[in-house]
Amino acid sequence: MEQKNILSEINYHSFRVVYLFLILISIIGLSQIVSAENPDDYIITDSTIPGDYIDSSGSDNLRDYADLPVWIKISMVSGAIISVFCALKYIPVILAGQSQANKKGNRDKIYECICANPGLISVEISELTKINTGTARYHLYLLEKNHEIVSVKTGHKIFYFQNRSLFTKEQIAGIILCRNETTKEILDVIRKKPGASNKLISDIVGIDKSTVHWHIKRLLRAGMVKIKRRGNSVKYFFVEVLS
């Protein structure tokens, strides 16, 4: 796959060299036509060597551009025009090739950003890569279509990850849950204080018990927390799933 991209890039740059060469030839041809109109630039003098002979009756005879046959004039002008036309014709191809290179560069940048920061949303990816949000979403669509990334929708947000095979469902859920600061703070308390109760978590985080219970339910579903009951008491323990 990488080899194909390298070869495509080489062909593209080779084409640009040929294209610039055609433009140069066209400019030289046109300059020769213009300069040929001035006969003073080309002067043939008689030889100063005694007995030397110059045949000026045939092709060596001095002729102005205006004296050339019509068919030669037409050939020179039409050849130059065709060369310029062919060169101009491929300008869109050159620009399109450059555009494709830029698009691939943006797509690679977005993919690398997701690999380094799993669980980002499109706005965050746009901010980190300095790519317009609309453009970023377009490339995210193509990356997911090509199975290079996977998206997970939670509520009104869509989180992006490198291909799903790299993460279990529990790991993906854990990454998404930890994007919520309160959930992350509760999880940190449980990790640092194994067997923490609802009341202890409520006191440390500074929120009411019902809110703590709501966040813990989400952590339980994601398999990041487990419960141990002793009579009427409930203790919470951290489960490592993000390693």
Report the pLDDT value the prediction gives residue 231, as an integer from 0 to 100. Answer: 83
State the angle between helix axes of 169-177 and 181-192 in degrees (0 to 180), rounded to the nearest 10. Answer: 110
Task: Judge contact between 217 and 177, C-beta under 8 A.
Answer: no
| CATH class label, 110-165 | mainly alpha
The set of long-range contacts for 189-194, using a CB threshold of 8 Å and a minimum separation of 24, is 190/219, 190/225, 190/236, 190/237, 190/238, 191/238, 194/237, 194/238
State the angle between helix axes of 133-145 and 91-116 in degrees (0 to 180), rounded to the nearest 10. Answer: 80
Cβ-based neighbours of 221, under 8 Å, separated by 6 or more: 173
Comparing 36 with 162, which gets the higher pLDDT? Answer: 162
Q: Is the pLDDT of residue 52 over 60?
A: no
Report the pLDDT value the prediction gives residue 112, as an integer from 0 to 100. Answer: 93
| CATH class label, 170-238 | mainly alpha
Report the pLDDT value the prediction gives residue 5, as an integer from 0 to 100. Answer: 47
Domain ranges for the chain: 1-37+65-89, 110-165, 170-238
Residue 124 CA to residue 99 CA, distance in Å, equals 24
State the angle between helix axes of 2-36 and 91-116 in degrees (0 to 180), rounded to the nearest 10. Answer: 150
Percent of the chain whose pLDDT exceeds 70: 58
DSSP 8-state secondary structure symbol assigned to residue 40:
G
Domains 110-165 and 170-238 share a fold: yes
pLDDT in tens, 126-147: 999 999 999 999 999 999 999 9
State the angle between helix axes of 198-205 and 181-192 in degrees (0 to 180), rounded to the nearest 10. Answer: 120
Report the pLDDT value the prediction gives residue 218, as an integer from 0 to 100. Answer: 87
Task: Judge contact between 127 and 135, C-beta under 8 A.
Answer: no
Q: Is the pLDDT of residue 11 over 80?
A: no
Comparing 31 with 157, which gets the higher pLDDT? Answer: 157
Report the pLDDT value the prediction gives residue 167, as an integer from 0 to 100. Answer: 77
